[in-house]
Amino acid sequence: MNTCVAHRGWSGKAPENTIAAFHLAIDHPAIYAIELDVHLSKDGVPVVIHDHSVNRTTNGSGRVIDLTVEQLRELDAGSWFGEEFLGERIPLLEEVLEMIKGKKRVLIELKQMGSYYTGLEQKVVELIQKFSLQDEVLIISFDHESLRKIKSLDTDVQTGLIYLGMPTLLLEQAAYTGANHLSFHHSFLTKGIVEKLISNNIEIGAWTIDEMESLERIKALSSNIHITTNHPEIMMYQFEK
């Protein structure tokens, strides 16, 4: 059966990448995993937010990399979504991992761009090791070298490449980075890609599916695809049958 991955937490019901969104996802038994995004603060602390700036999802402005963790934590990351979420903060990766440990698988997207965040990979691996989460975490990124760095730091940490487009040389890219998971925008995923990857024991992810028509198309390709969605409720019916 296709598994459900809550994109930035249950972001259709709560502000993305917040404790509130993660709690909703943790509490539902039909959700297999939680996806989240990680940047580094100015003072080198891994924080959970999607964009490289705080403008869209907080009441502040500026780049994450230019703000200290104390400055980031002062921002309101919830009221843009709804008044009931006033006071939600940008979470630290450490507190989120501690909260989710033993409850769900976690997909951590590193928002690395070349050497934009110095030490990001090492800081994240250190937290994974601190909580002994090597078997519960999948590190994903568009950045090939970032994933190679993760593997050089801890070979037990699972990694996955993300794609937007119709890539070639998939098996070669997986081998080069050490990735055991490849994640595609759902519109580019084909039967041929799915069959090739399954036959080579590579996990497959499809993102971000929020419409029933797209969900049914991906499910028809294979029952082994991990489906990432902002609205896990669209997948719930299959668990209730």
Per residue in 150-204, pLDDT (tens digit) is 999 999 999 999 999 999 999 999 999 999 999 999 999 999 999 999 999 999 9
Average pLDDT over residues 29-34: 96
Q: Structural domains in the chain? A: 3-240 (3.20.20.190)
Contact 226, 205 (CB under 8 A): yes
3-state secondary structure of 166: coil
Which pLDDT band holds residue 237 (cuts at 50, 70, 90)? low
Q: Is 23 a catalytic residue?
A: no
Whether 7 sits among the annotated catalytic residues: the reply is yes
* Residues in contact with 75: Cβ distance below 8 Å, sequence separation at least 6, in sequence order: 54, 58, 59, 60, 89, 90
Predicted TM-score of the model (pTM): 0.97
Average pLDDT over residues 23-47: 98
Length of the chain: 241
**Phi/psi at 48 (5° precision):** -105, 105
Q: What are the helix (H) ranges across 137-186?
A: 144-153, 170-177
CA dihedral 136→141→147→153, nearest 10 degrees, is -50
Given the residues 50, 186, 226, 231, the one annotated as active site: 50
Q: Which two tokens stand for residue 125?
A: 């691996």
Q: Which of 7, 181, 186, 226 is catalytic?
A: 7
Vertex 82: Cα angle to 10 and 55 (nearest 5): 85
Tens of pLDDT along 113-145?
Answer: 999 999 999 999 999 999 999 999 999 999 999
